[in-house]
Copies of this chain bind each other. A is one copy, B any other.
């Protein structure tokens, strides 16, 4: 034994808090491999963090999954917010939502784009699970944002605006599903064109 401690406790390879490292590692693995297929050990290894740190920050894997879902929701809202900043009229503000989806598709992922992380996670959860509820609320919020901007295009015709918002919401979600299967943003680009034509024809 030398003068240094016998055990090499890598003390601080990163100064960042364990919680953030864990959330980022979980995001990478949950998205690319799926939630159920990703074990605790894989997450702590990917985060470069001790198992204990996971349970210091989250009561259980389920709680980590809930935090993951919340983070994906917040992440999308941020993509949307940035697109909204550069939008100058109602049509552009509607299309900002489509652009935010395309931005998601063009993010960096371990094994490529694989569709909406929230829908993918929901697909693994049993009916009635809290996580499924959260994803449902997220999708409803997206539709509400669509409805908000569509209402500016159709003042005084609320029913038609709501119908168009729903039409756009279905269109967008379907394109996202197909884009996930194909692994790129082609479907989303096409869907944006379809949407912009719909809006131009008003």
Interface residues of chain A, those whose CB is within 8 Å of chain B, are 32-34, 36-37, 111-115, 119-128, 132, 135-136, 139, 163, 166-167, 169-178, 180-183, 187, 190-191, 194
Least CB distance from A57 to B in Å reads 25
Question: A37-B36, A120-B123 are contacts. A132–B194 as well, Cβ < 8 Å?
Answer: no
Q: CA separation between A56 and B32, bound complex, in Å?
A: 33
When the two chains form their complex, are residues B139 and A112 in contact, meaning their CB atoms are under 8 A apart?
A: no
Which of B32, B169, B190 contacts A127 (CB under 8 A)? Answer: B32
- Residue of B whose beta carbon sits closest to that of A121: B123
Residues of B within 8 A of A111 (CB): 126-128
Q: Is the interface of A mostly helix, strand, loop or mixed?
A: helix
Q: Is the CB of B177 within 8 A of A136?
A: no
Chain B neighbourhood of A136, CB < 8 A: 181-182
Contact indicator B167/A194 (Cβ below 8 Å): yes
Bound: A172/B2 CA distance, A = 69
| A34 to B124 alpha-carbon distance, docked (Å) | 5
Q: Which residue of B lies closest to A181 (CB)?
A: B136
18 contacts between A and B (CB under 8 A): A32-B126, A34-B123, A34-B124, A34-B126, A36-B124, A114-B127, A120-B124, A121-B123, A124-B124, A132-B181, A136-B181, A166-B194, A167-B171, A170-B170, A170-B174, A170-B178, A173-B174, A174-B177
Task: Given contact pairs A34-B125, A36-B124, A166-B194, enumerate 7 new A-B contacts (beta carbons under 8 Å).
Answer: A34-B36, A123-B180, A135-B181, A170-B171, A170-B194, A173-B174, A177-B177
6 closest A-B pairs by beta carbon, nearest first, are: A174-B174, A173-B174, A170-B174, A123-B123, A36-B36, A120-B123
